[in-house]
Structure 1
Amino acid sequence: MTAPGRSLKIGLTQWHATTDVAANTAVALRVIERAAADGARIVVLPENGLMLGSNVAMREAAFDADSPTIAALRDAAARLGVVLVVGGLKNSTPDGVFNSALVIDRSGQIVGRYDKIHLFDANIGGQSFEASSVERAGAAPTLLDVDGVRIGMLICYDVRFPELSRELAAAGAEVLLVPSAFVQSTGEAHWHTLLRARAIENLAYVIAPATVGSSTPDVVDAFPTYGHALAVSPWGEVLADLGTETEAVQTVDLDLDRVGAARSKLPVLAGRREHAVYATEPTVITVGATEPREGTDD
């Protein structure tokens, strides 16, 4: 008799977030309920899903572990028996404000967090995003273990730094989480390509919840986000795409045997040669200008 395969049901979420924390929290609770009812064992929320505005506004509204919103999410996790990853929020701590993904276990306890390492300092379409002016960068890659499945944690802009996802995969991650509030213009150009690339090069599932929609008129300096929350297979196939739905959730059943099968076909993790790539300076081959040979045109 063949032994049953390893699997994990995960809730992929998406919604239109604003500066209205109460309204955003109500949406979060609804999608968590829907994912749990569909059998999800872990539910992942988007970056800035609980409050999306300007960097300054989000910092001023930074959450702490005792906030009513976090308490409501903890209660939901305990009541529904799901692991909850609050995909990214301005997190007020004694050491400063971080962009953190909080992990809440099935008893409703906050058991850890990942602090975003790569902060979004960019100029897109004439709008400046200076995340480092309002939050501190995280210092360490973070892995989450759920039901024996090792999961690597990233947040949004981290996806543009492939060395982070590769380190997580090399440490055993079979799933990469990328909760995001991806800017509309860069999302149209890069979102699907980046997420599929991270899945393909690491032969891992990628789960990327997202915020979606244009900023509302009363939200000063907010920015439209792309949506298209994605689930991608270890072979690069898009398993789910929530498009531009303003409140959506889909439970995706991850077959972890596919990770092992893909990595057996393409053992890229075992084939890494870090000593050659990272331990030495690149060799530079210089080709200088030469005089034309005799009898040839100049």
Structure 2
Amino acid sequence: MAEQKLRVASVQMALQKTRSVDALFERVAHFVRTASGYGAQFICFPEHFTIQLLSGEAPMVPAAESVDRLTAHTTALKQVLVELAKKHAITIVGGSHATRLEDGAARNVSYIAHADGRLSEQHKLHPTPDERSVWGIDGGARADAIDTEYGRIGVMICYDSEFPELGRRLADQDARIIFVPYCTDTRHGHFRVRYCCQARTVENQCYVVTSGLVGNLPNTDNLEMAYAQSAVLTPSDHGFARDGIAAEAEPQAEQMIIADLDMAALDAARASGSVRNLADRRLDLYSVSWR
């Protein structure tokens, strides 16, 4: 039987000059250990948080070489996430990591580590124009809800959250919590993600957890600064947070936020809420199909 109350943690991580892989992994381990200690079943990290691994190299790594340099750390990253998830009995949405696949394609990938040792993946479907032109990142081919021991979840990486059909696809597959790791360099970019994620909660009567990078990072090419105010967002109806915000970080400060999500409240809203977006769709007129 699915849990009726779930606790989620969102890491708003500050960019820091990082001289070793172990230094970054120790920071990740700290947040995972802390979230588990607070009883969280899920923890989410930001998009592109591993870019910090390039900041300690001299001379500065040219942007065109970034993906290949990061690929050297992909195996270790996956192993660390799985080990931490098993050790602390928590599902880790590992932000995202730019890496090159065996077929040569560059992708922006979120690795989701489960407490039972499984590792799932979600590739970013919509790379930004900058990701395409500077890093050569291509979009993934599928988006599917991910089975966890607490029910299905979805992952939309940053720009993906700005496409409503993707959130609907995940909701139709019974994802009731959608995690959005993001990285935006300006306040404008942050609010594009925030407003779209809030819309996704209304359209799909689900929860959305956002996790962003903040601060400045010297000695990196094409990711020098980031702006975020991470949040746990809810539908806008009776039984939920007044402003549709269950928890919210302070802008531009490293911290972890935690929120309790009432899954029964989603069921009630879908069945008898003030509005019933999922039930009231005009499927006789439109639908979301997937190849």
Shorter-chain TM-score range: 0.7 to 0.9
How far apart are the structure 1 equivalents of 2:134 and 2:160?
14
* Deviation larger for 51-60 or 195-204: 51-60
Which of 87, 90, 111 aligns to 1:79? It is 87
Counterpart in the other structure of 1:100: 109
How far apart are the structure 2 equivalents of 1:90 and 1:4?
33
Classify 1:168/1:243 alpha carbon distance in 2 versus 1 (closer, same or farther; 3 Å). Answer: same
Q: Which has the higher helix share?
A: 2
Maintained 8 Å contact 2:162/2:193: no
Matched, 1:253 2:255: no
Q: Which SS does the other structure have where 1:61 is aligned?
A: helix
Q: Where does the alignment leave 5 or more consecutive residues of structure 1 unmatched?
A: 122-127, 280-298
Which of 161, 166, 171 aligns to 1:159? It is 161
Matched, 1:9 2:7: yes
Counterpart in the other structure of 1:62: 70
**Aligned-pair distance for 1:31?**
0.9
Give CA deviations for 1:111-145 in whole Å, capped at 9, x if unaligned: x2011111111xxxxxx553585222111112122
Counterpart in the other structure of 2:239: none
**Aligned-pair distance for 1:160?**
0.9
**Aligned-pair distance for 1:4?**
10
Maintained 8 Å contact 2:190/2:229: no
Q: Which SS does the other structure have where 1:182 is aligned?
A: coil
Classify 1:164/1:241 alpha carbon distance in 2 versus 1 (closer, same or farther; 3 Å). Answer: same
**Aligned-pair distance for 1:175?**
1.0
Classify 1:134/1:239 alpha carbon distance in 2 versus 1 (closer, same or farther; 3 Å). Answer: same
Counterpart in the other structure of 2:59: none
Percent identity, aligned pairs only? 22
**Aligned-pair distance for 1:214?**
2.3
Structure 1 vs Structure 2 CA RMSD: 2.7
**Aligned-pair distance for 1:232?**
0.5
Classify 1:167/1:247 alpha carbon distance in 2 versus 1 (closer, same or farther; 3 Å). Answer: same
Classify 1:107/1:237 alpha carbon distance in 2 versus 1 (closer, same or farther; 3 Å). Answer: same
Counterpart in the other structure of 2:197: 195
How far apart are the structure 1 equivalents of 2:191 and 2:25?
30
TM-score, normalised to structure 1, is 0.80
Matched, 1:35 2:35: yes
How far apart are the structure 1 equivalents of 2:257 and 2:92?
15
Counterpart in the other structure of 1:149: 151
Classify 1:9/1:247 alpha carbon distance in 2 versus 1 (closer, same or farther; 3 Å). Answer: same
Classify 1:97/1:18 alpha carbon distance in 2 versus 1 (closer, same or farther; 3 Å). Answer: farther
Q: Which SS does the other structure have where 2:78 is aligned?
A: helix
Which of 229, 242, 245 aligns to 2:249? It is 242
How far apart are the structure 2 equivalents of 1:175 and 1:277?
24
How far apart are the structure 1 equivalents of 2:249 and 2:118?
29
Q: Which SS does the other structure have where 1:87 is aligned?
A: coil
TM-score, normalised to structure 2, is 0.82
Maintained 8 Å contact 2:131/2:137: no
Q: Which amino acid aligns with 1:273?
A: R
